[in-house]
Chain A
Amino acid sequence: MSQKISPPDKPLTDRIRPEHAPFDVAEYERAGGYQALRRALRTMAPQEVVALVKDANLRGRGGAGFPTGVKWGLVPHGPDAPKHKYLIANGDEMEPGTFKDRLLLEGDPHQFIEAMIVAAYAIQADVGYLFLRGEYHLAAQRVQRAIEEARGRGYLGRNIKGSGFDFELHLHTSAGRYICGEETALISALEGKRAVPRAKPPFPTVAGLFGRPTVVNNVETLCNVPHIVNYGADWYRGLSRTENGGTKLYGVSGRVCHPGAWELPMGSSAREIIDEHAGGMRAGLRLRGFLPGGASTDFLTAAQLDVAMDYDAVAKAGSRMGTGTIIVLDDQTSVVAMVRNLEHFFAQESCGWCTPCRDGIPWAEKVLDDLVYGRGRPGDLELLEQQTRLLGPGRTFCAHAPGAMEPLQSALQHWRGDFEAGIAPAAAAPAIAGPATPEAPRPLSEVLETTPMGPVGEGGR
């Protein structure tokens, strides 16, 4: 039977050996793998697993932080529930600056597979999909091999380990759109349709993939589940420094000494993550601000570095925990150009369904572009502020545009002077109508030379 394992304090990454191939199924089993699955199948009713996850206060790691157990509880259960239900792992990790799910899938694919089976058992899904970012070739290869190994050992397929529970797991590699991270757009894409979000209600938990009840969970979220089953809700909550349970994969990118991702107690402070784990800023640079949870979160400033990185504290500080992967802004990178680059990304990745997002973000991007090159006009900042308000929550069909506006609105608030500097001194254009005095076009080289800030990416040279 199972060997006695001492509870790890970094459960998600415990079995990951950097620079080495991941555990195969035998190694994974020897390291205590698939014990949670056996325990769940043998000793727990599906509803008990749901209750346990609720109790552990596991919250979604994909960005919104919705309580996982609550989501599972919304799926129709019992004898009257539809025959087919789906579980989808969202591995379409396209948030700029985010690379945590990749780490988990490449480093410990069996952990993910076990998590999928346990979660599927909890909601009684019979088919699961990993919707994986298309560029994650290595992860795809490793997960596919692990799926085959798991199937060979009877962890997937019909009547898993004699429990009477059937579950099949498929890998789907995305054709590549950021919007596929939005769960309903992901479902549309998985059905072979355009990756366009759907109206809610009905929520996917009631009518999702092919109209059936469907749960979409982030890869990291799911990977916590076997450990909660193994060691219990109390242990899980105890891993955290705050109310939100468990550990969290935090990441840092930007011009720090050691960019990377680390599993740390939930609620570790941004300062600790950046200074201790990422090694602080590179020589000669000072931290000016940071995006705490990926590109679609509000900037926090150097003064807010001590914020505990959990859902509630970051929200209180005026941003969102998001994916927990920090992007650092230093004092020698143009914040305007950085935001311009982000808006370029968000404009490109708009699905084109609703007007504000489709046509509003590109406009913001173009105004920012003018500001970067010193071609801004009076009124541009007010225009940008108006866009951040009008592309806010509720105004658009999904959360894409509101997310896109978060770095812009916070940057405008914190560093307005940087944006004002982009307004051309001679431009005395009236506030509404077109240019009163047409500008003579200047060669781009001249613009770049005389503009204090180049675009992001060139700043490091």
Chain B
Amino acid sequence: MSSKRATIHIDGQAHEVAAGRNLLEVALELGLDLPYFCWHPALGAVGACRQCAVTQYKDAQDPSGRVVMACMTPCGDGTRVATQDAASREMRQAVIEWLMTNHPHDCPVCAEGGNCHLQDMTVMTGQAYRRYRHAKRTHRNQDLGPFVAHEMNRCIACYRCVRYYRDYAGGEDLDVFGAHNNVYFGRAESGTLESHFAGNLVEVCPTGVFTDKPYGADYTRKWDLQQAPSLCNHCAVGCNTYPGERYGRIKRIENRYNEAVNGYFLCDRGRYGLAYSNEAGRPRQARGPQGPLRPVAAIERLAGLLDGRVAAVVGDRVSCESLYALRALLGAERVFRAAGPAQLALEDAQLQLLRVAPQVADLPRIENADCALLLGEDLLHSGARLGLALRQMTRQRGFAAAAQAHVPTWQDQSVRLVAQQQRSPLHIATPARTGLDEVAATQTRATPRELARLGWAIAHALDPQQPAPAALEPALQQVAERIAADLRAAQRPLLLTGAACAEPALYAATAAIAQALVACGAEAPAVAAVPAAANSVGRALFGGAGLQDLAAQVEAGRIDSLIVLEHDLAADLGEAGLQRWREQLQQLAVFDALPGPTWEAATLALPVATIFEAEGTLVNYAGRAQRHFAVHPPAGDARASWIWLCGVAEARGQSLGPTLDALLQGLAEAEPALAGLRDAAPAADAGGLNAVPRQPHRYSGRTAMHAHQDMHEPRPPIDLDTALGYTMEGAQGPGRDTPPALRTAHWAPGWNSPQAINKFQQEIGGALRGGPAGCLLPLAEGSRAAAQTLGAGPPEAEDTLRLLPLPDLFADDALAGRSPAIQARQQGGAALRLHPRTAERLGLATASRVRIEVDGEQRERPLTLCADLAAQCVGANLARCGLPAAWAGRPVRLRAEGGA
């Protein structure tokens, strides 16, 4: 976008704005209320709904002007419009009246009510009475699967759903059918929406055609939902969310705009993976060997353990606060990471890559790259939101072509017309087909190790100083040279990899390419990698040995007590292994939010709050520290692990807390390199005397909510840890300068739907007013060592077969996988996958079940052949196939069932 400025006149007021942008965006940025439907900040303008009509005048002398659509009108110097004149107001009101001819009068029973852009725009235009007295058209609705409910009668045909689903997200199974006032937005027939991002339809749709299905089944009006800024912890991207709570249940998750992380969209795992928090069987009481314990007793028991030979093992979603508290209590050397050797290597490689990256790829850097290499990672499963961003990156060449034809980037239809099939080069080199292959310039299939060698070949092609891998297949060599040429020519190159293949050499190769690009004088690339979990980077920053070392200590009998922090050891050890450990140990203390084998085996079990019930800081894939706040207090005795641990510290006369701010202060002093974690969000006194209300000012029924239990209204919980309050008192909205990390809602007068976000942005689609939410940790200060040459070696022997873990967005896992909606979305995936050629070589071409053997252990599993998979590997979604996580990347043997 050009940086030229223009002076425009709106309703007689002069404004200086960026030239060339459209009037609607500019008007919204100036804080004006101009209604719209078909425009969406991420989708651009198409001029279909005619709602944003304004009157444009040729000059100051033009008496009448003409009605134009603001979204289709570029701002030039001297552009002169009126928004409050009779002609444009009449037009805007008429558009609502037309839209309403077929819109039902069902707001009272519509899940969108109170959250509805159509309601807001109707009120904004003043269209209050219906003159239309004729029959309305009706449609049949479809079953679109477990996530999205469909009610086509409410449709106002703004076309945003198909523009989002098809043009933006690359889906193919939602379309528009029919014509005239009988257009139908749906699938060719009922069936589950295939996109990984279908849930965004709920927010993209300006009215109640597409609504959140699980939310609808457990519904509360938006104005009765208590909210707090939260994070998604189902992968390492760290999307910002607004979970909404009522009656102690998380009802839904809505996107929380963060320009650097997730923009306007979430993936379906993030939106629908919330049900675990509402499970009736969640532990609410601490438990000792003799049964339930009061919190004080539990704390005392735990405090007692610390004097013995104790160690702790921590999961990869545990907040930095809890990690720090545990290390402060036990000493860093006694805290182990729940990670096998490969996972540990991946976690450390992630950190190393962040340290050597010339710049870390945040969301805008991914979307705006003009050449990208995706090495190894199936992003649409492992870090889905980044995959959606990567799809946008392919449009850059089209934008450039449009700019040359004087078509502005926001003019969506014309940009696509000019762009046609031109795409910026996206090179995908992965062991299995990805959902982005269709927009990729090259698609390469090879084993993770071979892909790492491909990476080194690229690095070598860019900078001969980098070692060349030996005996690379000519086809791969050719691809390497093409990719190197594209990366070298790029203005904004991008490199992406990740941990999903369990191959640390991919990280080393990616780092080598980044260094080679810099060395050869090309533009410095943006680099990103997706680690395994929500706080993998945070955990890696604290460091610690892994499970292998811990196992050695346990098995040698050097440890009496083990504390397990938010992790199920059965996933690593198997149930038998867990049992063995249990027998070795005198005490097993387990912190968890959900029951599981480890919880059951515990001698001391402490119930933990879920992410919706606790404050904590997580560090995402890019090294960005972000704070999540409790949406509601946990029931029973559950609480954040760090709160339990602060209690233990107090019981031992050690001071860690007692508040979050005090804990973070201690952290900053103890670990100066991680002091940045404190800055993820403002401290509890940021709001002065006024707490930021978690409840909307229209929150209703507060006094009645508990009346069936107690006629007295309970005293609201007091929140000493944060600047938020469990209250509806106090101002919300854009007038109040609440820092973005503390905003509990994006609401503005007259803007009750998610579209209200425009009131909180400095620029449409740009930074939030009040500065960023979250902060990048200064990781580059660490070692900037040259990339290890890991993976640059010779190819593996041809008969080596390794287990390739295939990520699955809807996998059964400890959290999201417990959600019935996610479970209903799972399709197939329980079989091992093998390339037909490999199957033939192994004599398995006709086998339907095979025996798989890793490190002497055997399992029997179904087998399917899959041509779009690298040879020399057995693909499996480990969770779906019921295989141990530690098997990832291990050499395997396959035999036909019953074979010797």
Contacts and interface: CB of A to CB of B under 8 A. Distances in A.
Contacts of A353: 48, 159
A456 interface: no
A210 B413 contact: no
B417 A358 contact: no
Given A350-B180, A395-B67, A434-B130, A355 B157 contact: yes
A202 B131 contact: no
Interface string B21-51: 0000000000000000000000000111111
Given A211-B418, A356-B98, A366 B179 contact: no
A401 to B, nearest CB: 10
Contacts of B420: 210-211
Q: Which of A354, A355, A358, A362 has its CB near the most chain B CB atoms (within 10 A)?
A: A355
A206 interface: yes
A355 B99 contact: yes
B767 interface: no
Contacts of A349: 179-180
Interface string A335-368: 0000000000001111111111011101100100
Given A211-B418, A356-B94, A351 B180 contact: yes
A395 B49 contact: no
Interface size, B (range): 35 or more
A355 B51 contact: yes
A396 interface: yes
Contact of B181 (A207, A347, A377, A383): A347
A433 B411 CA distance: 40
B399 to A, nearest CB: 14
A434 B133 contact: yes
Interface string A308-352: 000000000000000000000000000000000000000111111
A355 B46 contact: no
B854 interface: no
Contacts of B91: 390, 395
A213 to B, nearest CB: 11
A434 to B, nearest CB: 6
Interface string B164-186: 00000000000010111111000
B101 interface: yes
Nearest to A208: B417
Given A359-B102, A390-B91, A211 B411 contact: no
A202 B405 contact: yes
A202 B407 contact: yes
Contacts of B869: none
Given A202-B405, A390-B94, A394-B68, A352 B414 contact: no
Contacts of A394: 66-68
A352 B178 contact: yes
Contacts of A194: 176
B776 interface: no
Contacts of A435: 133
A201 interface: yes
Nearest to A211: B420
A207 B405 contact: yes
B99 A433 contact: no
A356 B51 CA distance: 10
A355 B48 contact: yes
A5 interface: no
B134 interface: yes
Interface in B406-440: 406-407, 411, 413-414, 417-420
B131 A383 contact: yes
B95 interface: yes
Contact of A432 (B131, B413, B419): B131
Contacts of B660: none
Interface residues of A, number: 39
Nearest to B95: A355
Q: Which of A210, A348, A394 has its CB near the most chain B CB atoms (within 10 A)?
A: A394
A201 B415 CA distance: 11
A358 B53 CA distance: 17
B850 interface: no
Given A211-B417, A352-B182, A206 B66 contact: no
Contacts of B101: 359, 362-363
B90 interface: yes
A433 B131 CA distance: 6
B51 to A, nearest CB: 7
B405 A354 contact: no
Contacts, number: 111
A397 B50 contact: yes
Mostly, the A contact residues are: loop
B183 A358 contact: yes
Contacts of A172: none
A379 B180 CA distance: 26
Contacts of B178: 352
Contacts of A1: none
A271 interface: no
Contact of B50 (A199, A354, A379, A383): A354
A250 B183 CA distance: 36
Q: Which of B95, B178, B417 has its CB near the most chain A CB atoms (within 10 A)?
A: B417
A194 to B, nearest CB: 7
A386 B413 CA distance: 30
B48 A397 contact: yes
Contact of B414 (A199, A350, A351): A199
Nearest to A432: B129
B505 to A, nearest CB: 42
A429 B46 CA distance: 39
Contacts of A210: 420
A227 interface: no
Contacts of B67: 394-395
B132 interface: yes
A402 B604 CA distance: 77
Interface in B297-316: none
A350 B49 contact: no
B72 interface: yes
B412 to A, nearest CB: 9
Contacts of A211: 417-420
B475 to A, nearest CB: 32
Contacts of B94: 356, 360, 386, 390
Contacts of B181: 347, 350, 352, 358-359, 362
A433 B47 CA distance: 31
Nearest to A187: B417
Interface in B338-395: none
B157 A352 contact: yes
A16 to B, nearest CB: 35
Contacts of B159: 353
B563 to A, nearest CB: 61
Interface in B126-176: 129-134, 156-157, 159, 176
A198 B417 contact: yes
A309 B512 CA distance: 76
B405 A362 contact: no
A362 B183 CA distance: 13
Contacts of A177: 179
Contacts of A390: 90-91, 94
Interface in A396-416: 396-397
A46 B67 CA distance: 40
A74 to B, nearest CB: 14
A359 B98 contact: yes
B47 A354 contact: yes
Given A211-B417, A394-B66, A394-B68, A206 B49 contact: no
A201 B130 contact: no
A368 B140 CA distance: 28
A351 B132 CA distance: 21
Contacts of A377: 133
Given A352-B181, A358-B183, 6 more contacts: A202-B417, A354-B50, A359-B98, A363-B101, A383-B131, A394-B67
7 contacts: A207-B418, A351-B179, A352-B176, A352-B182, A355-B95, A356-B94, A394-B67
Q: Which 9 A-B pairs have the closest CB atoms?
A: A359-B98, A352-B183, A366-B134, A350-B180, A211-B420, A390-B94, A432-B129, A352-B179, A358-B181
